[in-house]
Structures are given as C-alpha cells and as structure tokens.
C-alpha cells in the first residue's frame, strides 16, 4: 500500500482506483475527439436504468463494432445498434437506447462538428454551463453529465476539482470531506480522478467495510 497518502485513501486507490476511462480503454489525457466521444457514449449509456457494468459492456461493444467516432456511429443502422446493445445486456432498453444514440450523435455532429473540445470552449470553464450543455444531448441526464465531467477533468483542468453527488456521498461515509475542494486536498491533482472513481466504485459495491479494514480502521 502506498505511503504517499493516509491509509484510508491509499486503500481506496489500491482496491478501486481504476478510472472508468481506463477501464473503457481510452486515454482521456490525449484530449482528442475519439476518446472524448467514447467517454460521452459511456456517460449516455450509464444514464439508462441499467447496472454500471452493463453500461461498460455496452460501451465496449460499441468500440468492438467500430463506432469510435461520431461519423462511424452515424454510418451504423438502428438494427445494428440494437443488436450490439442487446448482446451487451441491454435487453429491456436496447431499442430506446439505439434511437437515443442516433439523436445524441446527430446533436454532437450538428452543434460541435463531432468534436467535444468545442463544447469545452463554449462552456468557458463554467461547470454549470458544461453540465447544461452535456444534458442537452438526448439520453444524458444529470448523472451522465457528471460522470463525463468528473472523468474529463484530467484533460480539462479548468473544471478541477469536480466531484458529483455519488462521489461526495461515499467520501462523507468515509470521513474524507463534504465537497470537491476537501476531497482534492487528500491526493495530488494527478490522482483526483482515480480517487473519485474509487469512491464511486466503493459506493456501487457497498465496499466500505473492506476499505476500512484494509486501512486498519476496524
């Protein structure tokens, strides 16, 4: 376990410190259109009423189908999207989500030329504006917008530090702070997104006791 941070923080990072972008296999720090697009797709898929692991499988299925850019997704058919989503476990909402993917992709192409860095420019460093613009995409709610923003802050540092309700709920449970600024003081800036992901994963897995035990907090 790392001695750079307090035991509880080190336990979080060691047990659950993989960002969702890393799990998806994209390098957000590159700040190029394809990784940003794939992260947005994951945020949209996570907004549906499905488990987080199913949303991740669906995002990977989209990549396996070759839909790694807005243009490539635009070339897909509705039936192809339904098949990919259904195979990933979206049995109940595959048809609706297949339609939403087209709608949100059309908006991305028409409003931003398929490049989310233009959304970044339009938000001009304002978190509320960024969330509002993300929620303008079909199928992306507050949760999905927050997922995107908490992961993208590694490439868009003007939004640092950002933590959503799910993150702060877990942080509060472990006594690590009540707001993003308090949380950011626990680790270096380069590790904030990992800590946020670890807290969210701990919340999803209800893994608090295991984290406490790993940190020696019995």
Q: pLDDT tens digits for 187-199?
A: 999 999 999 999 9
Q: What predicted TM-score, i.e. pTM, was given to this entire model?
A: 0.93
**Residue 155 confidence (pLDDT):** 96
pLDDT grade for 14, boundaries at 50, 70 and 90:
very high
**Residue 12 confidence (pLDDT):** 96
Residues 121-127, mean pLDDT to the nearest whole number? 97
pLDDT grade for 1, boundaries at 50, 70 and 90:
very low
**C-alpha torsion sign, points 25, 31, 36, 39:** positive
Residues 166-176, mean pLDDT to the nearest whole number? 94
Are 21 and 41 in contact, with CB atoms under 8 Å apart?
Answer: no
**Residue 217 confidence (pLDDT):** 75
Residues 33-56, mean pLDDT to the nearest whole number? 90
Looking at the chain, the whole-number percentage of residues with pLDDT higher than 70 is 98
**Residue 46 confidence (pLDDT):** 87
**Residue 39 confidence (pLDDT):** 97
Residues 142-152, mean pLDDT to the nearest whole number? 94
**Residue 4 confidence (pLDDT):** 74
More confident residue, 29 or 1: 29
Count Cβ atoms below 10 Å from residue 185 Cβ, excluding itself.
Answer: 11
pLDDT grade for 48, boundaries at 50, 70 and 90:
confident
């Amino acid at each position: 376990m790392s001695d750079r941070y307090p035991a509880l923080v080190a336990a979080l990072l060691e047990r659950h410190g993989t960002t969702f972008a890393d799990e998806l296999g994209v390098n957000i720090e590159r700040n190029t259109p394809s990784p940003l697009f794939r992260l947005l797709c994951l945020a949209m898929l996570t907004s549906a009423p499905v488990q987080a692991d199913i949303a991740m499988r669906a995002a990977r299925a989209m990549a396996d189908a070759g839909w790694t850019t807005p243009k490539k997704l635009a070339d897909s058919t509705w039936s192809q999207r339904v098949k990919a989503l259904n195979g990933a476990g979206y049995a109940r909402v595959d048809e609706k989500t297949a339609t939403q993917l087209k709608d949100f992709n059309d908006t991305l192409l028409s409003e931003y030329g398929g490049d989310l860095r233009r959304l970044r420019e339009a938000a001009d460093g304002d978190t509320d504006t960024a969330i509002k613009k993300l929620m303008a995409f079909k199928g992306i709610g507050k949760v999905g917008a927050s997922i995107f923003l908490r992961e993208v802050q590694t490439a868009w540092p003007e939004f640092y530090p950002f933590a959503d309700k799910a993150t702060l709920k877990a942080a509060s449970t472990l006594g690590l702070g009540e707001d993003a600024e308090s949380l950011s003081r626990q680790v270096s800036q380069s590790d904030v997104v990992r800590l946020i992901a670890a807290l969210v994963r701990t919340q999803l897995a209800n893994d608090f006791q295991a984290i406490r035990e790993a940190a020696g907090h019995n």
